[in-house]
Structure 1
């Protein structure tokens, strides 16, 4: 019997792992092994990441600082999941609100106490995302794909854009409990919904960059799930 290949999911936080790991294991692990790497934030917004080193940062995450002992040949693919966070919205849809102490994501745009900071963040995030979309190999020869939740994971799974960190754990636990024994229901939710972007990989990314789509409720994660559910 051939050795199972590893499908590594790179995610921003523990709640992504909590929400998705068990149901993805059910979907994928007949033939492969599912592993999650929680990077503790958005790689495309980090100060220490730029276009020149972003692929190396992805490889560092895969290696988990040298603690993960898989070789490149052990991997089937790397799946990178990110929140869009309104990264591609137009400047006119970024609004000043001096009363805020953090960004607020709303249907009509982003509200912030400093518009220039949002523009700088979005510009950087756009450049890094565009680099990663065109990246098909990391860690040498390991296949790589990046998928989005817009505006974020909670927006897609629960139709709520802004969730306090403490509440995210409650939402993730609820989602896990609901779908751990209901793979068909999970696939229907993600793949057959109004927010499912039913295009090819490149076109799904072109779509989310248009207008203010990156603050609206969309995901192209269905493309990955469709592929594995048909194997």
Structure 2
């Protein structure tokens, strides 16, 4: 029997893998689904410049491969990212010194509240540029590549909740896996037919999230990556 090819999902945190691993392995059963957890955001890490972002993603893939996999073992790279409200106008970034956690701004449907607005504006600029570079990238080192968004983050899309603690994220991830891990059809319907689903076209979905305050609100284009329900076993 031929060895299954790997679909590699690049995600920001371990709860992304907890939420999605079981159901995606069922949906893409003809391949082996693996995750590379960044433990952060590669689009803003170490002030990665737009000229180096594709190399940075490839370094993540090479880190996953190690001495176990070869490039030919990977049939697809799927990159899942949070929007973090990066496409909102600067006037929507509000200084708020009552926010105690300087590392994490507080998000609403209309504002990003933070004690360090200049830092968030710079983060948004950098991440916007890197997103623009990657969304137009179709291959990395010859491997098919695509990037999809969950705004503001995975929990926002999957649960309709924002500004969660790490503990709450773990609880939500485990609950989601219990709900959809053995229900791939239900998961596909959820991602493709919900009010947050932006699944008409890949390029159009990215145009949409860049408009106004959309990147602060509950939207995802990940349903585009998933097969039609009738194709799922």
TM-score tier, shorter chain, comes to over 0.9
Q: Give the structure-1-normalised TM-score.
A: 0.94
Structure 1 CA distance for aligned equivalents of residues 206 and 223 of structure 2: 13
How many residues are treated as equivalent by the alignment? 229
**Alignment RMSD:** 1.6
Q: How does 1:32-71 map to 2 (within 5 A)?
A: 32-64=31-63, 67-71=66-70
Report the CA distance shift for 1:132/1:227 in structure 2 as closer, same or farther (over 3 A). farther
93-102 or 151-160, larger mean C-alpha shift: 93-102
Q: How much has 1:55 moved relative to structure 2?
A: 1.2
Q: How does 1:54-203 map to 2 (within 5 A)?
A: 54-64=53-63, 67-101=66-100, 102=102, 103-138=105-140, 140-203=141-204
Q: Give the structure-2-normalised TM-score.
A: 0.93
Structure 2 CA distance for aligned equivalents of residues 146 and 198 of structure 1: 13
Tell whether the 8 Å contact from 2:196 to 2:219 is kept in structure 1 after alignment.
yes
Show the counterpart of 1:222. 223
Per-residue CA shift, 1:157-186, capped at 9, x if unaligned? Answer: 000011101111111001101111111211
Tell whether the 8 Å contact from 1:190 to 1:196 is kept in structure 2 after alignment.
yes
Report the CA distance shift for 1:150/1:193 in structure 2 as closer, same or farther (over 3 A). same
Q: Any idea what SS the aligned residue of 2:51 has?
A: coil
Structure 2 CA distance for aligned equivalents of residues 161 and 76 of structure 1: 33
Tell whether the 8 Å contact from 2:199 to 2:222 is kept in structure 1 after alignment.
no
Report the CA distance shift for 1:12/1:77 in structure 2 as closer, same or farther (over 3 A). same
Tell whether the 8 Å contact from 1:8 to 1:36 is kept in structure 2 after alignment.
yes
Per-residue CA shift, 1:92-137, capped at 9, x if unaligned? Answer: 1111111113300101110011211111000000000001011111
Structure 1 CA distance for aligned equivalents of residues 148 and 229 of structure 2: 15
Structure 2 CA distance for aligned equivalents of residues 100 and 59 of structure 1: 36
Structure 2 CA distance for aligned equivalents of residues 93 and 78 of structure 1: 33
Q: How much has 1:52 moved relative to structure 2?
A: 2.0
Structure 2 CA distance for aligned equivalents of residues 35 and 194 of structure 1: 28
